[in-house]
Chain A
Amino acid sequence: MSSVKDWAAPNPVTENRSGIIGKGVERYEGKLKVTGTAAYAYEVEPPSAPAYGYLLAATIAKGRITAIDISAAEASPGVKLVWTHLNVPKQARRGERINPRSQRPANPALAGDRVEFFGQPVAFVAADTWENARAAANLIRVSYAAEPAVLDFRASLDLAEMPDGEEDVLIGDFEGAYARAPAQIDETYFSPLQNHVQMEPCATTAWWEGDKVTVHTSIQMVKGGQHALAETLAIPSEKVHLLTRYIGGGFGGKGQAYDDLTLAALGARALGQPVKLTYTRQQMFQATIHRPAVSMRVRLGAEPDGRLNAFAVEAVTHCARSASFVEHAANFSRNLYAAPNRLTGHRLVKMDIPHAGPMRAPGEASGMLSLECAMDELAEKLGIDPIELRLRNEPDVDPETGKPFSIRQLTECLNTGAQRFGWSRRNPKPGQVRDGRWLVGMGMAAAIRGNFLLPAKAGVRIDGTGVITLRQGMTDIGTGTYTILAQITAETMGVTMDEVKVELGDSEFPPAPGSGGQFGAATAGSAAFEANMNLRRALAELAIGDPNSPLYGGDPTYVTFGNGNIAIENRSESLATLVSRAAPDGVYVEGAISPAADARDYSQHTYGGHFAEVGVDTVTGEVRMRRMFGVFAAGRILNAKTAKSQVTGGMIWGVGTALTEGNVVDNRYGSFINQDMAGYLVPSHADIVDLDAIFLEEADDKANPMGIKGVGELGICGAGAAVANAIYNACGVRLRDFPMTPDKVLEGLMAKGL
């Protein structure tokens, strides 16, 4: 195993001689996407005419299917098959794992008469057209015996239990220190359940050749999907070829496979014909995972100078009864501020609604809404500027583990942001700044999100024309992965981007863990870097050993790559010349990365500061963004443009979290009230007027060989709290119930006599 020390030496990426690293180069696959020629899973052309599937969803929250009448559906025009739990082909049992190395166990569809949530697929129809399949599905009559269900989270907080295998983290004497603290904050914040609302719904196109199935599906984890399907069908994973070339948004919601994958594969096998199956927009809301709601109690006990002495962040959240998941909404606070006496922990309510699961920055995204507002409340109570309050609680080492930080630029983020944003113009007294009918205010919040490196592999091949093709079982969910892998390859091999090809999303390529947890660029990128370094070594050896090469007999330590050439001082030839002559079939090598043995000796995170200015309409209570600015420190930035898109995208989600987004369970049915994009409001262009972000110079040599870190989740962390704090500064209405819609703000304004 390697050590972080091995990563400190200069390498082609950190030297960045041609300057491609960091440049805001255009998206590698951008042209395909904007011209509509990037085939997403549902659009992939199968080898012969497909049948089209449709799923019928349960309309109760919990209970049993007592009868199901498919006769009308079977007789409906164009219908090829109708499956329910009574006649679906045999699959492995849920959770079963024949191959112990499978990353995911079996996940059978239509697996029984039990209904565990509203929206659960209960029947599958395949027909000659999608319309015929849908029309037939609507003719299926299902009878249920409904059972009492836990559906109302806020009314069920008393059911909350300690999650299995967890305990609270208690350091020092929180209760005592809190009781003695001269300044106290004790507030509870609520953030609602959120849906991922990816543009592209879950979808699969499947076909069989002999005993091997090819599935094009929209999933963030290639191996996870391949293994889940193989286990479900009880076939070896080599018999599943899973491809996921382009993904129209994932955000964590596609970290797992859904029934489209299983039923498309089963349907194609039964029909001897390719099958396409997609979730509808409504099914995406009702029947895939969501970010659970969080009720968070925050207690802060501080000295008059603002130093925190006692600090508790306690989250109550929920998950499906049958699929445990803990939204670790308090975890972030363990690494953020110094305080000697600390209490953090989680409680879980088991509910009869769809599965809770990860969504962009799980934990931080909802968790930071509480503490970062509570810090604002404490700052006001003590008459200290909210930035200054955070600076006074800046720890020298990780506040819980005592480990050194790999690098921590939170202070720089806050100070730079304050200066660039014009924070000094903020009036600390709320409700003072008027602009016509608007009250205007500013708010800020800190951002923190962990950084991770997972094991991954990559393969790289150079052919006789000098074209270098990187292959990896990695995904690009719209984040820019294709592009940064091309940049890493070009810089490492000393060629231009035009000479690089990147092929991703294929279970037969060297595996990478996929996109999630903002570990994608660091993990896949480092494996790609290592593969390219191995290719450099292989080509150096090839040239030095080839009597026809000008480098023949040279010292490999002096070999350099640049401008498409391989060289030792002034002896050089082009890569194309070398390969076409010495290895006409091309050269292929692989590379791998794994976490350094001592990586966990450091506290390693990405950081940021958010600054928001809002206007509150004093007539209607509508809140509109005026400006938002973020400063982030997240290691070396590989691509200025795609990285910025990631953090601004996160900030925009934070705006949505603060102002509009959220779903509500109808407690009578167990369904979500919002199930399309006209009802579930994400920010529109008009909501985001002036929003910008910058990155601080940084390289984290404890992170990986390139010193890069993740940026995909950092932008959302704390963003909503900055907006909420700005609302308070604007109008003096302190809301602790997200999202802060006009009805809530108006009530607050009226209570203040405004």
Chain B
Amino acid sequence: MRPFTYERPTDVAAAVKAVAATPGAKFLAGGTNLLDLMKLDIEQPTHLVDVNRLPLAGMEDTSDGGLRIGSMVTNSHLAADARVRSRYSVLTQAIVSGGSGQLRNKATAGGNLLQRTRCAYFYDPSKPCNKRLPGSGCSALDGLNRNSAIFGASEACIATHPSDMAVALTALGASLETMTADGATRTLAVADLHRLPGDTPHIETTLAAGELITAVVLPPAPAGGQVYRKARDRASYAGGLASVAVVGSQVAFGAVAHKPWRAEKTEAALASGAGAVEAAHAELAGAQDNGKNGFKIALVARMTADALAQAREGRGA
């Protein structure tokens, strides 16, 4: 860990300005990812702007029947909220499948979206990793990579995005509100937040430097059942081997790509009347394994078919 300075503003615009004003500055939310990475010298911020005192921890109904979630709402609060549980149960299911209770108490909506990959080589500074040290190579490519991507991977990086919450948000078609360094605000779809690795895996999102996520906005809940299925090595406190979020006929996959993966081909197949198994395979026909993660293709196909069937039975509706 490198020495850093720290401040804790109470005003959103001031927080954004503070990050813009200091090269190498970062926002600090729950710290459950950032601090771990700092201890390992993987993140080396010069200045931390703690956003925990910003007035962004509220939740409110939107005029169109959706829900606006402040970016500082903790994962625990979000999952337990009565509105979320009744209208967006896929989100609750996804969040409680992640981490441990202690982590969810600290983790925030904004921080969860921006958590970095759990690729073991990324976490080991003694190894080459293009994401950590651009140009150094990708240790996972020929390494122990059971958990690597089956969609959208590149020669430069085959890591996956580990968030469960983001998969549910992607299936729900949620969007984000942000504020940029100059104080301007904008809205973007969660599906457009993360990038595929290409040859710049260290650039993970479409946010500008110092851009603050201020809220996550859920559209009115679509009709149909909502199901989140996550396969993992142990019953709790483990990242997904793969996950599937189904919201009516909207489908997203987790832990299969550098970003939450909206399964558009599955959705299209469903729209044209395909059955659950066929629809699941529609997206997975485009999946690629690298010899060690092939089980994921079958796994996602089976989970998707199963989750679609459950959603049709009205689970989580």
Contact = CB atoms under 8 A, between A and B. Distances in A.
A134 B125 CA distance: 14
A742 interface: yes
Contact of A742 (B3, B120, B124, B241): B241
A730 to B, nearest CB: 16
Interface in A665-710: 666, 668-669, 671, 673-676, 678-679, 681, 683-687
Contacts of A659: 233-234
B235 A750 contact: no
A686 B99 CA distance: 12
Interface string B226-242: 00010111111111010
A674 B234 contact: no
B41 interface: yes
A28 B234 CA distance: 33
A171 interface: no
Contact of A134 (B1, B127, B143): B1
B8 interface: no
Interface residues of A, number: 39
Given A668-B142, A743-B146, A746-B298, A620 B236 contact: no
Given A681-B234, A684-B236, A743 B2 contact: no
B102 interface: no
A209 B169 CA distance: 62
Contacts of B150: none
Contacts of B306: 437, 619
Interface string B112-144: 000000101001101100000000000100111
A134 B44 CA distance: 14
B232 A622 contact: yes
Nearest to B293: A743
A621 B306 CA distance: 13
Contacts of A676: 123
Given A59-B126, A621-B299, A742 B231 contact: yes
B295 interface: yes
Interface in B1-36: 1-3
Given A620-B302, A742-B241, A743-B295, A685 B236 contact: yes
Contacts of A681: 233-234, 238
A282 B41 CA distance: 14
Interface string A97-111: 000000000000000
Contact of B236 (A135, A619, A675, A686): A686
Interface string B135-168: 0000100111010000000000000000000000
Contacts of A624: 235
B191 interface: no
Contacts of A666: 139, 143-144
Contacts of B282: none
Contacts of B231: 617, 620-622, 742
A324 interface: no
Interface in A735-752: 741-743, 746-747, 750
A627 to B, nearest CB: 14
Contacts of B118: 678-679
B73 interface: no
Nearest to A743: B295
Contacts of A131: 1
A13 to B, nearest CB: 41
Given A619-B302, A671-B126, A684 B237 contact: yes
Contacts of A678: 118, 239
Contacts of B100: 684
Contacts of A437: 306
Contacts of B120: 673-675, 679
B234 A742 contact: no
Interface in B283-315: 295, 298-299, 302-303, 306
Contacts of A674: 120
Contacts of A415: none
B235 A684 contact: yes
Contacts of B143: 666, 668, 673
Nearest to B295: A743
Interface in A405-442: 437
A657 interface: no
A293 B25 CA distance: 45
B44 to A, nearest CB: 10
Contacts of A741: 233
Nearest to B232: A622
A560 interface: no
Contacts of B3: 77, 135
B121 to A, nearest CB: 9
7 contacts: A282-B124, A620-B303, A659-B234, A679-B123, A686-B234, A687-B234, A742-B233
Minimum-distance CB pairs A-B, first 6 = A686-B236, A686-B235, A743-B295, A620-B231, A59-B126, A673-B144
Interface of B: 1-3, 41, 100, 118, 120, 123-124, 126-127, 139, 142-144, 146, 229, 231-239, 241, 295, 298-299, 302-303, 306
Given A138-B41, A675-B124, A746-B298, 4 more contacts: A617-B231, A669-B127, A686-B237, A742-B241
